[in-house]
Structure 1
């Protein structure tokens, strides 16, 4: 299989290495191709600009769009998730590509009361980022190339300890309702994308999250026990706590459709993933 990974960064590079190890031919499109790992053929291009028709490799079997926004503004999300897919589709010029997979986000959901959400739940995001993501999804799913969307939860993994640091530094109030978080390890992001690329007849949309949408307090207490520390002090308050942060959602994302399709998680919950990350961080250089 010949696969182009457009926006070949943190997740895309992991996917590329996974595919290359299996003998697939992988092309990685990004501005700085020097950052691509060995085994991925570089394609130097800027997704914020019009792509020349001859910049994309020929005879592609699939394209994965895994770009990230260059910031949190509406313009950054529009450039990444609306203009980016549009430019790739235009540069393909109607070529017979078997599948286009878009890496999206659970940010398209705006639920705030701890509801369970799945692929059929209402997508009514409160912020512009979620609306731009939906706009990009519409382009991919409504185009002539068969499209698949993978909506990822919060991504963590090697080099990304932010979730652990935030959980220890700022646990939620003790007296508040559960504040659910949804996450997925970088390696499972890559694994799920590979799975959807090879799946004979995928559905249009999948949620990429692990098995447990965990309450923030549960995560903080597990980390404290794992690191043999005292439970974290309550640093948030009803006035400045995360539950009242504008735009913060509170939802439980289900990965049932992805599991039914046959994908098996390497890190089923935050416990396995965080433990592996902490062990790796503790190793001497």
Structure 2
């Protein structure tokens, strides 16, 4: 039986697991409570950190890591690089971010673009990508744009009246629905291409204020206030996202993996989320 070891079995990995047929799935999580939830969903849970992953790594035919690097580096590489080097999986996936491209002042990037991260998080991702590439595994890197989907969308804030339209000229973000992430990962598993790098995003890089406005329109609620970024009260994390503006090309997932996005723009994605809520 094919076995997927999902290290950091979170939002995107759970969406992938729901699509895989005939797989035994081992998923790591940090708490007993979340382990119980994984078990109920048919996933074999492992508490990690706290458990040696080497046995699971050795028996996995497929490995997916969704773990973010920290100031000390990638925690998976820090603790299990030797076990990974000794492993013989058919497919390995690393979930990275389009933040590795840095700021392009609204310009386009593709998988061949120079990596110019401007944030500490982006620089840590570049280092982690290089670390995973150095292991000699059949690695596939997925650089993911802003993720939204069930439970992760603008509707809660719009309904609560706390949503704001932060205005910064020429600011655009790429984004992707979690089900399209799962679709791309499943397509890559079906058609492995070791060494490949894929951008995961939809067809419509858009100003963030447009997405908030459309959500309000779908709900039939007043347009949230527009606030110039200079006047916005934002956390350092939120403000760091506005430090980068770029349009991300997704041509490779279409041409190489034959992917047809279920939600090619945020309009289809938000409409589907609202329909599911109702």
Change (3 A) 1:179 1:165: farther
Cα distance in 2 between the residues matched to 1:34 and 1:67 = 20
State the match for 1:4 in structure 2. 5
Contact 2:138–2:195 under 8 Å retained in 1: no
2:19 maps to which residue? 18
Superposed displacement of residue 204, structure 1: 2.0
Name the structure 2 match of 1:132: 124
Instruction: State which of 35, 44, 49 in structure 1 corresponds to 2:47.
Output: 44
Match of 2:144 among 147, 152, 158: 152
Once the two structures are superposed, what CA deviation does each residue of 1:165-209 show, in whole Å capped at 9, x if it has no partner? Answer: 379822133xx5331011111111222111112214355211111
Which residue number in structure 1 is paired with residue 204 of structure 2? 212
Q: Is the 8 Å Cα contact of residues 141 and 204 (structure 1) preserved in structure 2?
A: no
TM-score (norm 2): 0.84
* CA–CA distance in structure 2, aligned partners of residues 57 and 143 of structure 1: 13
Structure 2 vs 1, CA of residues 57 and 250 (structure 1 numbering), >3 Å: closer, same or farther? Answer: closer
Shift of 1:163: 7.9
Are residue 35 (structure 1) and residue 37 (structure 2) matched?
yes
> Do residues 249 (structure 1) and 244 (structure 2) align?
yes
CA-atom RMSD, angstroms? Answer: 2.7
Q: Residue 177 and residue 45 in structure 1: after superposition, are their counterparts in 2 closer, same or farther (change >3 A)?
A: closer
| Equivalent-residue separation in structure 1 for 2:240 and 2:23 (angstroms) | 44
Q: Distance in 2 between matches of 1:208 and 1:223?
A: 22
Q: Deviations over 1:96-128 (max 9, x none)?
A: 112211001111121241011111112111111
The 2-side partners of 1:152 and 1:67 are apart by 13
Contact 1:61 1:99 in 2 (8 A): yes
Q: Which residue of 2 aligns with 1:273?
A: 269
Distance 2:239 2:193 in 1: 40
Does the CA-based 8 Å contact 2:105-2:246 persist in structure 1?
yes
Change (3 A) 1:232 1:162: closer
Secondary structure at 1:235's aligned position in 2? strand
Report how far residue 246 of structure 1 moved.
5.0
1:59 equivalent in structure 2: 59
Aligned length: 266
Q: CA deviation at 1:137?
A: 0.5
Gapped regions of structure 2 (runs ≥ 5): none
Greater shift, 259-268 or 233-242, is seen at 233-242
Residue 170 (1) aligns with residue 171 (2): no
Contact 1:3 1:60 in 2 (8 A): yes
Asked whether the equivalents of residues 168 and 223 of structure 1 are also in contact (C-alpha less than 8 Å), the reply is: no
- Distance in structure 1 (CA, Å) of the matches to 2:261 and 2:80: 30
Would you say the 8 A contact 2:106–2:171 is kept in 1? yes
CA shift, 1:8, in A, is 0.6
The answer on 1:263 being equivalent to 2:263 is no
Report what 1:192 is aligned to: 184
